[in-house]
Structure 1
């Protein structure tokens, strides 16, 4: 720690500078892009995506490596085209997110189409609580806004801590403006709050295709071993809540399409850990089906499979 008048440690000073720059850029996005016409924002998003794709940076290469497992028969040209489409989908998510707080209820209603929505509404009507679990497909924030705006159902979710702290605060304020209760992902401390919400018949939504705690369970995912969080499964076990997988995708229109899949049931036998592992594998299987149908909308720009993590001793 540096005191008054001391020169900050150069690496620490550089990190703080990068943090302020990152926060400033996101602030600019949430401010300036709200004022631009939607066609201009969409065109800007495609331009940024294409430039990032052509630079072939680490994130693009990681996305391409992940997609190679999803579409193993793709040749190099096909995989490159898929990763380019993936970057465009990723930037569409960001452009929509920057502008989403300005969307009217009607714009959200017409911008999202949900199949099998009755599984959610009927589940909530029972009073037992519902957990929606979904992968990083398309725009999960827009799907959440549909829930709070169209169904008028509030829900609780968990957000990964971001650096700098001011950037995390921006994300929390953004999601809260959409009607979500946002808990920070810190050492599992959010679990108790989530369980209390469910026991009162509430709704919890969790993005659950990547383990952030290194305490998840191993699953088979596209034929290889990955690790996914057990939180959704354990919450369903402990609270009696309904566990519903959700998959999302974009189509050629400005519409986000969602599907609420049949519930993942708690197995009748086995230990708590064994039941959680079985349920998490069932979630992984549903996620894999949705991702395989629309791989360009899977925004996984990080390492996921253990084969990619273990040689360097990394954790998800």
Structure 2
């Protein structure tokens, strides 16, 4: 649902509002803007309804209500993102975040000294997840695509940098990104990435809710090259105005087999973990583009036909 607001001017305006108005007012304003944008976009409505129908089996008025709840959650998440993007980010985040005790999984995953590949998705408040890790004193690098403009890219990097979070950009024009990620992991640091929506032609085919789609192969590739643990982590809205952090146990990776065989299997293991999380929180899985393309006129992802895969991730 990106529109004219997804610009450096839109971000600066939203940042100003987040710090001028009470949080409750920003939440209501964000919800109104988000629902207005959603109902102006037939493509977003069709995609979200299709995605959430396959996750939940709902239809009719129940599906409509779930979609509205989803858009409202997404809009309020963005408002909180801007609230936590300023110089007082740590203070705001500390007031919003609650831990579920998953820190022991982080400690155990980092103990071998090979770093941690933190995988998350477009679910909950993924930016707050990075902030949470930084607040725990963990050295974190976020993997991201370039923003629509270089000015917006620099703005978001500066917001992360003031919290001690580094950035590695991937995609065209960044041929050494994979090397940078490996070097980061070999320093026993954390590399965080979104893996549930790779950019076109750069994912592996997986089964998700009984249908074919693509997940990023970046985590599986890095695990094969470095032996780092792959740890799923999410930040979920708790329904009471705050967010709960969830760090899952590491996903078992086969790093000794033939990479041509194990890459897809390892990526499927990650997707299977995500399926369980998405099933529990469909109102917080924010995908307004088609995720499954095999049941309509659009053909399935090329990787599901040809088995090809490349390094991929998305911001």
Is 1:141–2:127 an aligned residue pair? yes
SS of corresponding position for 1:311: coil
What is the alpha-carbon distance in structure 2 between the residues aligned to residue 128 and residue 94 of structure 1? Answer: 33
Question: Which of 251, 261, 267 is the equivalent residue of 1:274?
Answer: 261
What's the TM-score once normalised by structure 1's chain length?
0.86
String of CA shifts for 1:37-74, please: whole Å, max 9, x gaps: 112111211222332344453223322221111112x1
User: What residue is the counterpart of 1:59 in the other structure?
Assistant: 44
What is the alpha-carbon distance in structure 2 between the residues aligned to residue 35 and residue 269 of structure 1? Answer: 54
User: What residue is the counterpart of 2:113 in the other structure?
Assistant: 127
1:234-245 equivalences under 5 Å are 234-245=221-232
What is the alpha-carbon distance in structure 1 between the residues aligned to residue 104 and residue 112 of structure 2? Answer: 12
Distance 1:241 1:310, change over 3 A: farther
Distance 1:275 1:310, change over 3 A: farther
Is 1:39–2:44 an aligned residue pair? no
Question: Which of 143, 161, 168 is the equivalent residue of 1:183?
Answer: 168
Q: Is contact 2:67-2:283 (8 Å) kept?
A: yes
Q: Is contact 1:216-1:227 (8 Å) kept?
A: yes
Structure 2 runs not aligned, ≥5 long: 304-315
What is the alpha-carbon distance in structure 1 between the residues aligned to residue 296 and residue 203 of structure 2? Answer: 14
Structure 1 runs not aligned, ≥5 long: 1-17
What is the alpha-carbon distance in structure 2 between the residues aligned to residue 29 and residue 106 of structure 1? Answer: 19
What is the alpha-carbon distance in structure 2 between the residues aligned to residue 310 and residue 166 of structure 1? Answer: 37
Distance 1:262 1:54, change over 3 A: same
Is 1:212–2:196 an aligned residue pair? no
Q: Is contact 1:225-1:307 (8 Å) kept?
A: yes
What is the alpha-carbon distance in structure 1 between the residues aligned to residue 38 and residue 148 of structure 2? Answer: 24
Question: Which of 287, 300, 304 is the equivalent residue of 2:291?
Answer: 304
RMSD: 2.4
Q: Is contact 1:131-1:203 (8 Å) kept?
A: yes
Dislocated runs of 4+, deviation >6 Å? 18-21, 312-316
Q: Is contact 1:248-1:290 (8 Å) kept?
A: no
String of CA shifts for 1:210-266, please: whole Å, max 9, x gaps: 111512110001110001111101111211111111233212112212222221222
User: What residue is the counterpart of 2:77 in the other structure?
Assistant: 93
Is 1:112–2:93 an aligned residue pair? no
String of CA shifts for 1:109-150, please: whole Å, max 9, x gaps: 34222332211123224322111101111111111111101x
1:245-264 equivalences under 5 Å are 245-264=232-251
Q: Greater share of helix residues, 1 or 2?
A: 1
User: What residue is the counterpart of 1:288 in the other structure?
Assistant: 275
Moved more, 52-61 or 30-39: 52-61
Q: Is contact 2:117-2:192 (8 Å) kept?
A: yes
User: What residue is the counterpart of 1:8 in the other structure?
Assistant: none
SS of corresponding position for 1:303: coil
Distance 1:96 1:191, change over 3 A: same
Aligned pairs, how many?
297
What is the alpha-carbon distance in structure 2 between the residues aligned to residue 24 and residue 97 of structure 1? Answer: 16
